[in-house]
Amino acid sequence: MKANIKTFLLALAMLPLPWLSFVANACTCAEISPCEAYASAAVVFMGQAKRTSVASTTSHLPSNAMSTTLTSGSPVTLFKVERAFRGVSAETIEISGGGTTCDYYFRQGERYLVYAYQDSDAKTFHTTICSGTAPLSEAKADLTYLIRVMKSPSGGTVSGEISREVNNVDKDEPTFEPIPKGEVILENGHQRFQAVSDARGKFELRGLPQGRYRVHTNPPTNYSRSDVMAEEPRNEWELDVPGQGCLQTWFLARPEGEISGTIVDPSGIVPEDVEPELIPVDKELKDDNFRSVRLGDFRRFKFSFLPPGRYYLGFNMGSGPSIMEPYPEFYYPGLEQRSKATVITLSEGQKVSNIYLPRPVRLAERMIEGYASWPDGRPFISKCGIQLQNPKTGYREGNCVDSDARGYFIIKAIEGQTYELSASTTSGKSVALVNSKPIVVKVGKENIPVKLVVTLP
């Protein structure tokens, strides 16, 4: 549970609706309906890919890029437009990728339904594998919708569901119950629109004028798809309703328990890499009940949306020390032994505040050096081929490093920790990376060079 993914994992785990899916190439997409794809696209058309190429990319990302992982090239495709549904008046149009792992690669000569976005220069268009773009043979439902919407009067649709998070003592994961007869209220100046949810918690508002609306629910909810990364409760949000197409959202009533306090340190200085954690005492530790927060002003922290239960507060309680968080496993009120930690008990909706949590002593960074070779004695030469892995969590520690012409490498580690040291390379049968058999390394204050023989499984 590394610091750069903790909040993201929690947000994904809390999604009550099946609107999130994962695709290859490290690209994460929300499932998108035809009406959502239409509402968010600047141009929509069906056409044939007449010419494809790959252009070199820069560090610039499209304003609505789905991935921040850049690639070395961006696909560029010239289309002959066969039927335009939105934003296209010319007979041909050029569609690019964004130079990221979410790029869509078209096949020359094939026909597609394309949803594309306008780039910030207002002259070029790009699409992604998350936009709804698909081969024409796989777009029958989209075409049915597009033909119908072209004949419909203007006005956007907002739909979704309103539900309540329920945390059962005998279950490790929360469940979600629909809120029937719940009111979803949208306001835009003097205009007010209201929908009432059905027995399944579903609601829908059609024919809404385009614009930005304030939205709240009755009974009140405190979490929404409109701000899925929120770390504290909200009771009102803003929605941008399209002129046509739809916007899908949800509203969730989550528990309102809170635990808050301050990180204290004799020096008065608390580094940015300090992130307090909260884990359950009586349940198995999982992504959906693991919490971590960044510090606010004056070294303050707050955990919100907490159900009743018993909790440990501290640092690195799930994964232990790492290069990113070089602190020992540590528990409130200032101990390294879980058995002696103070348990914080929270009742329904209770707010526990003014907790003072000491910052543990930062652990020392040490360098592990050594030589890597093949079984026959030849040096193992690599780019980013040497790595340390935390055997407790399975996470790779820090970044991989190179081994030079002698097989020599040097890699950063945390004193007192035990790692598995291995090499990664491509196998002879494919380009997929495989790891060598690891060796166990215990990091001390001073470390003798290690010998890594790269034996593939």
Is a pLDDT exceeding 70 seen at residue 456?
A: yes
Q: ∠8-39-12 over CA atoms, to 5°?
A: 15
Is a pLDDT exceeding 60 seen at residue 3?
A: no
Tokens 């707010």 -> residue: 351
The whole-number pLDDT of residue 288 equals 75
Counting residues of the chain whose pLDDT is more than 70, the rounded percentage is 88
pLDDT-derived band at 69 (thresholds 50, 70, 90) equals low
Is a pLDDT exceeding 90 seen at residue 23?
A: no
The closest of 343, 234, 227, 237 to 282, measured between CA atoms, is 343
Cα separation, 451 vs 204, in Å, equals 65
- Which tops the pLDDT comparison, 84 or 71? 84
pLDDT tens digits, one per residue of 293-316: 988 888 899 999 999 999 999 999
pLDDT tens digits, one per residue of 85-99: 999 999 999 999 877
Is a pLDDT exceeding 70 seen at residue 4?
A: no
Cα separation, 3 vs 90, in Å, equals 48
pLDDT-derived band at 15 (thresholds 50, 70, 90) equals very low
Cβ neighbours of residue 53 under 8 Å, at least 6 residues apart? Answer: 75, 76, 77
The whole-number pLDDT of residue 318 equals 81
Cα separation, 386 vs 373, in Å, equals 11
The whole-number pLDDT of residue 182 equals 97
Which of 173-187, 204-218, 273-287, 373-387 has the least mean pLDDT?
A: 273-287
Percent helix, strand and coil across the chain, each rounded to 5?
10, 45, 45
- Which tops the pLDDT comparison, 173 or 366? 366
Average pLDDT of span 168-185: 87
Token pair belonging to 276: 């307090």
pLDDT tens digits, one per residue of 418-447: 999 998 886 555 455 677 888 999 999 999
The whole-number pLDDT of residue 326 equals 87
pLDDT-derived band at 12 (thresholds 50, 70, 90) equals very low
* DSSP single-letter state for residue 449: -
Average pLDDT of span 73-86: 92
Average pLDDT of span 183-195: 94
The whole-number pLDDT of residue 137 equals 94
Is a pLDDT exceeding 60 seen at residue 50?
A: yes
List of domains in the chain: 32-150 (2.40.50.120), 156-253 (2.60.40.10), 257-358 (2.60.40.1120), 365-453 (2.60.40.10)
The whole-number pLDDT of residue 282 equals 87
pLDDT tens digits, one per residue of 347-387: 999 999 999 999 888 899 999 999 999 999 999 998 888 99
The closest of 94, 100, 98 to 47, measured between CA atoms, is 94
Q: What secondary structure does DSSP assign to 128-188, as a single string?
A: BTTSS-EEGGG-HHHHHHHHHHHTSPS-EEEEEEEEEEE--TT-SS-EEEE-TT-EEEEEE
Average pLDDT of span 214-222: 97
pLDDT-derived band at 57 (thresholds 50, 70, 90) equals low
Which segment, 7-16, 17-26, 291-300, 307-316, is predicted with the most confidence on average? 307-316
Is a pLDDT exceeding 80 seen at residue 250?
A: yes
Average pLDDT of span 244-264: 94
Average pLDDT of span 312-332: 89
- Which tops the pLDDT comparison, 115 or 325? 115
Token pair belonging to 6: 């903790």
- Which tops the pLDDT comparison, 17 or 345? 345
Which segment, 66-75, 119-128, 289-298, 420-429, is predicted with the most confidence on average? 289-298
> Is the dihedral angle over the CA atoms 408, 412, 417, 419 positive or is it negative?
negative
The whole-number pLDDT of residue 429 equals 52
Tokens 């799930």 -> residue: 318
Cβ neighbours of residue 99 under 8 Å, at least 6 residues apart? Answer: 57, 58, 60, 61, 70, 71, 73, 74
Token pair belonging to 385: 């081929």
pLDDT-derived band at 266 (thresholds 50, 70, 90) equals confident
Tokens 């999130």 -> residue: 20
Token pair belonging to 300: 């303050």
Is a pLDDT exceeding 60 seen at residue 292?
A: yes
pLDDT-derived band at 284 (thresholds 50, 70, 90) equals confident
